[in-house]
């Protein structure tokens, strides 16, 4: 099994894979009932997940569902949520950003109330606010930490210099960016930074919105409101161009008696010791399948071979940030 991990400031050992809650209420054209989502989240916990990633920008119910589902096991899990986006539209448009001191104090109290808890394990700045310096944000995080409202903090999709400046004021614990086999630019920039500063790298979209699960093809249809309807990644010509990667994943999956998704996630967790992918799904079977990737071992030789193959592929990734 792949090694457990610990985050700076959080006195809990956790599995090296987390569960992303976004899809329950945002981006995929479907919103399940409260009963369905609570049942799903409890099944996710039973599958072995110990880290759960949510955000108010995904809709207020997202935090409410998570808090209710984990109420009885609160101290055994790591809850991560976010601040900084007051509104994130379902279909394009501009985000409403605010990371001012007073706004953050209001946002954290609202999240605590929705989650039904008195502390947040890991609190991310969801997107940087161009009107607020990293030093000011870090100072606010220090204030929240001293008040016992957060255990640790991180940033999502922030520039390297921003991270360094913030870290100098109050140390971060994690960076959350987009990373997967199709989008590997962060290997050159954020990986060295995380290693230097002792940060976890939390991989959002580790399965590229499901593309790397091996279950999507040119005949796949999506619900109305599903962002994948308008993403270049899911157009026929892109699927054709990326087929070489899917073929490689399927070959390893067959050899390892695993699935393409499990090979993808195992590769990420083997890539660097500070990696934590957070795949999301609204299907119990997929959640269990994704978690069980921690039991799929890839040798150093296999990792080297996969990495060499990836370098030779002319694949197309997702639009960044």
Counting every residue written for the chain, the total comes to 321
Beta-sheet strands, E only, within the chain: 19-20, 51-53, 78-83, 85-87, 96-97, 120-125, 150-156, 174-178, 200-204, 275-277
Cβ atoms within 10 A of the Cβ of 85, count?
A: 21
Check residue 154 and report its DSSP letter.
E
Give the DSSP per-residue string, 20-45. Answer: E-GGGTSSBS----HHHHHHHHHHHH
The whole-angstrom distance between residue 296's C-alpha and the CA centroid of its chain comes to 20
The residue among 7, 53, 47 whose CA lies nearest residue 278 is 53
| DSSP SS3 for 112 | helix
Check residue 214 and report its DSSP letter.
T
Catalytic machinery residues: 58
Residue given tokens 């989650």 in the structure block: 115
Q: Cα separation of 181 and 123, whole Å?
A: 27
């Amino acid at each position: 099994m792949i090694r457990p991990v610990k985050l700076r400031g959080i006195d809990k050992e956790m599995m090296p894979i987390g569960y992303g809650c976004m899809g329950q209420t945002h981006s995929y054209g479907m919103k399940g009932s409260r009963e369905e989502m609570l049942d799903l989240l409890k099944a996710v916990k039973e599958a072995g997940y110990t880290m759960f990633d949510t955000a108010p920008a995904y809709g207020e119910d997202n935090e409410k569902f998570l808090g209710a589902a984990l109420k009885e096991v609160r101290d055994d899990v790591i809850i991560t949520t976010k601040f900084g986006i007051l509104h994130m539209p379902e279909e394009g448009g501009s985000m409403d950003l605010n990371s001012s001191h007073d706004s953050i104090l209001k946002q954290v109290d609202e999240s605590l109330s929705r989650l039904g808890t008195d502390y947040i394990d890991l609190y991310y700045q969801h997107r940087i606010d161009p009107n607020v310096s990293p030093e000011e944000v870090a100072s606010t995080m220090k204030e929240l930490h001293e008040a016992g409202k957060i255990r640790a903090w991180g940033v999502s999709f922030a520039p390297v210099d921003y991270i360094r400046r913030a870290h100098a004021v109050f140390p971060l614990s994690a960076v959350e960016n987009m990373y997967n086999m199709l989008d590997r630019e962060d290997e050159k920039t954020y990986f060295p930074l995380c290693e230097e500063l002792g940060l976890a790298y939390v991989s959002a979209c580790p399965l590229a919105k499901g593309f790397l699960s091996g279950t999507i093809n040119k005949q796949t249809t999506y619900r109305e409101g599903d962002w994948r309807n308008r993403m270049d990644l899911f157009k026929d010509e892109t699927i054709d161009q990326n087929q070489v990667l899917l073929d490689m994943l399927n070959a390893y999956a067959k050899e390892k008696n695993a699935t393409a998704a499990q090979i993808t996630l195992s590769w990420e967790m083997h890539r660097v010791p500070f990696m934590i992918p957070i795949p999301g799904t609204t299907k119990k079977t997929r959640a269990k399948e994704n978690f069980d990737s921690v039991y799929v071992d890839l040798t150093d030789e296999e990792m080297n071979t996969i990495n060499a193959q990836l370098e030779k592929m002319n694949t197309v990734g997702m639009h960044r940030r």
